[in-house]
Copies of this chain bind each other. A is one copy, B any other.
Amino acid sequence: MTGLIMDYPLTTNTILNYANSAFPDKKLISYLPDGSRHEYSYGQLYKRCCQLANALKNKLGITKGDMVGTFAWNHYQHVELYYGIPGIGAICHTINIRLSSQQTEFIINHSEDKVIFVDATLVPLLEKIAPKLETVEKYIIINAPKGFTTNLPNIIHYEDLIGEQLETIDWPAIYENDASGMCYTSGTTGMPKGVLYSHRSTYLHAMTILSPNAGNYNNNDIILLVVPQFHVMAWGFPYMCLLSGSDMVMPSLHLRPDAIIRILESEKVNKANGVPSIWRGVYEEMKKNPPKNKLALEEYLVGGSALSASLIENFEKDFGIKGVQAWGMTETSPLGTASRLQKKHKNLSEKEQIKIRAKQGIEFPGIEMRIIGDDGEVAPRDGKTMGELQVKGAWVIKSYFKTNSRDSFTKDGWFRTGDVSTIDADGYMEITDRTKDLIKSGGEWISSVALELALMSHSKIKEAAVIAIPDKKWSERPLATLVLADENDPVSTEELKEFLAKDFANYQIPDNYVTINQVPKTSVGKFDKKEIRRLYAEGKL
C-alpha cells in the first residue's frame, strides 16, 4: 500500500524556492577577484537565477541533460550557476581550475560541455586548450575588467547574457533522480573520473550536513566558504546555506591567510569550512599578527585531509576557535562523517578529547560505513582492526560517468574508498593509513602512479617510485625516488620538472627527487611502497 503523501521532488529548485520564500533577506556576500565587495539578498539571488535560467534556454539553447561547464572562483555568479543550470534540467559541471592543461582538456571533452562560464582571471588557462575543446560552443566571461580581451572564440559577457531576461520563470518539472551537477575526481591511475550528482542526492546531503551532529548551521550563522566551488560543489554549502538560512560569504581568489582573516573580521563570520592547510595558514598568520579584536569565528569545519591534533589544540587554546573534523570524498558528495564529542566524553582529559575530535567521526544518517579486513570479512568496531573503508548511502555514487568499470565497487554494492581505517566501539571512524598510492597536497590529489609512469617515460630513468612526504604547509608533497638508467648519466631536478610540466599541474610536480640503487619490490615484483615509505616518508633524503 502506498502512502497518501504529496509527490514533492527534492531538487535544487526546491532549495532555491525555499530560500526565496523563507529567507529572502539573508545575504550572499562576495569578495570579487578585483578586490571589490558585492552583496545582495537571497531574494535577489532568486531573481538572477531566473534570469540566468531564461538566458540558458533562450540565448544559449541549453536544454535538459546538457552539460554546462564552470571554471570559476567562489562568488555570487557561481552560486547563480549552481541553481540556474540544474534549475532547467541541465548539469552544472564545475571544472577544477588547478588541473594540468592536459587533464582540463580531457575533462571538458569527456563531459561534452556545451558552454563554459569562466572567470576573466582564469581565461588564460582555457585559451591554451580552447582549440582542442571539441564540444564547447560558447564561453561566458564572468567579472571581466575594463579593456578585457581574449582569443577565446564566441564569448559573451555574463551580464550581457542575463541582463535583459525576465526575473521570473516557470521552472520545468524535474525528477529528483535527474543529474544536477558533476565533478571530476583524480583516480590512482589514468585520467580523472566523472561523478554525476542527482538533485535528490544534492538536497539530502545539504539537508543532512546542516544538522546539529554535522555542521550545525542555522539562520543566525554567517558562513565563509573557503572550499572552492570547483571542489565537490564547495562541499554542498551553496545549497546548504539556502536551506539553513545562513548568510554566505564568498572569497573568490582571496585565499591567502591574511585575506581570509580580513574577510572573517569584516563580515563577522562565525562558521567556515576549508582544508586543514588553509586553517593552519590562518592560525600561523594570527599568531604572527594577532587580530585586534576577538574574531566572531567559532568553528571551522575541516575535510579533505586529516586535521592534526596540534592544530585543533592550539587554535582553540590561543584563539578560542574550534576545529571540527569531517570526512568525505568527491564520490560521497562529499560529507559522510564528522567528529564531535558526546556526553560520555565529558570527563576525559583534554588530550583524550582531542584525540577523538581528530578522528574522522560518526557517519551521518543516510550514510553507512564498514571496514573490510584482509580476510574479506566485516571487521569489528574495536578501534584497532584495520581494513578498507567501504560506504553506501543516499549521496554515494553507484558508478563513474561513462564507464562500466566496477573496480571501485563491491559485489554487494558498497563503494570502496581505498582508505584504510578503523571504527571504534562508539562508532568513530579513523583513517589510519594513506589512501593507496595517492598524495594529498593542499587538499588536492596527486597520483603517485601517474607521476611514476611519466618519470619512467624519461630516457634517463629506469624506475621511479613516488611517495608522499610530510609538509608543513601542504600536509603532503610528493617525493620521487629514482633509479637511473645509467648511473653515470645523472638528470637534474630542473630537467625533470620541465619534463613533467607537459602533463602535470604545477602543484602536482615533485619538488624533491632522490636517486636510489633499486626500488624495493614485493614478492610479486610490484613496487613495495610500504618499504619506500619506511625508508623515506619522514622526509629524510
Partner-B contacts on A (CB < 8 A):
1-8, 10, 14-15, 17-18, 21-25, 64-65, 91, 175, 177-180, 195-201, 204, 207-208, 210-213, 216-220, 243-245, 340, 342-344, 362-363, 365-366, 368, 392-401, 413, 415, 426-427
Contacts and interface: CB of A to CB of B under 8 A. Distances in A.
Contacts of A343: 220
Contacts of A10: 204, 366, 394
A3 B86 CA distance: 12
B213 A4 contact: no
A401 B4 contact: yes
A394 B91 contact: no
17 contacts: A2-B179, A2-B198, A3-B179, A4-B397, A5-B200, A5-B395, A6-B393, A6-B398, A8-B392, A10-B394, A14-B366, A17-B368, A22-B362, A207-B207, A210-B211, A211-B212, A212-B216
A17 B392 CA distance: 13
A204 B362 CA distance: 20
Contacts of A363: 18, 21-22
B6 A178 contact: no
Nearest to A392: B6
B211 A1 contact: no
A5 B365 contact: no
B6 A413 contact: yes
A359 to B, nearest CB: 14
A195 to B, nearest CB: 7
Contact of A198 (B5, B22, B340, B344): B5
A21 B368 contact: yes
A18 B337 CA distance: 13
A196 B5 CA distance: 7
A217 B207 contact: no
A2 B178 contact: yes
A18 B336 CA distance: 13
Nearest to A180: B3
10 closest Cβ contacts across the A-B interface? A3-B198, A212-B218, A8-B394, A3-B179, A1-B65, A4-B196, A5-B201, A1-B179, A6-B398, A243-B365
A211 B343 CA distance: 20
Nearest to A2: B177
Contacts of A17: 368
A27 to B, nearest CB: 11
B212 A5 contact: no
Nearest to A17: B368
Contacts of A245: 213, 342, 362
Contacts of A1: 64-65, 91, 178-179, 196
A413 B5 CA distance: 12
B211 A397 contact: no
A7 B244 CA distance: 26
Contacts of A394: 5-6, 8, 10
A229 B424 CA distance: 34
A413 B7 CA distance: 10
Nearest to A175: B2
Contacts of A179: 1-4
A398 B5 contact: yes
Nearest to A217: B212
A213 B218 contact: yes
Contacts of A362: 22, 219, 245
Given A218-B213, A368-B17, A396 B6 contact: yes
Given A1-B65, A3-B201, A397-B4, A207 B208 contact: yes
A243 B364 CA distance: 8
Contacts of A219: 213, 340, 342, 362
A211 B5 contact: no
A219 B216 CA distance: 12
Contacts of A3: 177-180, 196-201
Nearest to A18: B365
A175 B3 CA distance: 10
A177 to B, nearest CB: 5
Given A5-B198, A400-B4, A365 B15 contact: yes
